[in-house]
Amino acid sequence: MTTLRVTEVLGREDDDVFTGRLKDYLSMTWAEASRRRFRGSTRAGRDIVLTFQESTFLSEGSVVHDDGQFIVVIERTLEKALVVDLPEPGAENALARSVLLGHFLGNQHAPVDVSQPGVVLVPLMTGPETAISSLAALGFTAHSAVQALARYGWDGGASPHDGADGTEPKGDEHDGSAHNHAGHSHSH
């Protein structure tokens, strides 16, 4: 079997152009999904090499190969995660506690997935007991679980900063000046 070589994301598995194609899946962790280079095997055993020129985040459902008969679709691998319960909106000190959680996770450089209501998913980068007790000391309830992290990016969905294909902005689109995205504006 020949090695499939990929240099770009072709679209999403539910795009009309892929209707009727057979599907093969390439499983990736959240960390692998942001690598510029990756080599792996699909479920059907196809060898595949991904090489991207620019920063790309492969979200679940991204199509990376199409030969007219079958497509290769990205799927997220289940991995150990920390599930942190968020304070109820309007609860006493909810905003302050959320800021504290953001500061705590930010200091660990931990990416967060907010795709599920009421919880934050974080990759488990230490022992679960240590992580859970550290968060309990800050007043948070958490538990470890096996989850698919960052299925559609770290904000839980299509970010206005992402391209339609999941790629990061190119060039000087974020040069520090104020600018607009999809109905909102801000500066970096």
Closest listed residue to residue 74, CA positions, set 150, 142, 146, 144:
150
pLDDT, tens digit, 9 for 90 and up, residues 166-180: 433 333 333 333 333
Read off the DSSP letter of residue 113.
B
Looking at the domain covering 4-76, what would its CATH class be? Answer: mainly beta
pTM of structure: 0.72
Question: Does domain 78-148 fall into CATH 3.30.70.790?
Answer: yes
pLDDT, tens digit, 9 for 90 and up, residues 97-148: 888 888 888 877 878 888 888 888 999 888 899 999 989 998 899 999 999 9
Domain spans in the chain, listed from the N-terminal domain onward: 4-76, 78-148
Closest listed residue to residue 114, CA positions, set 105, 90, 173:
105
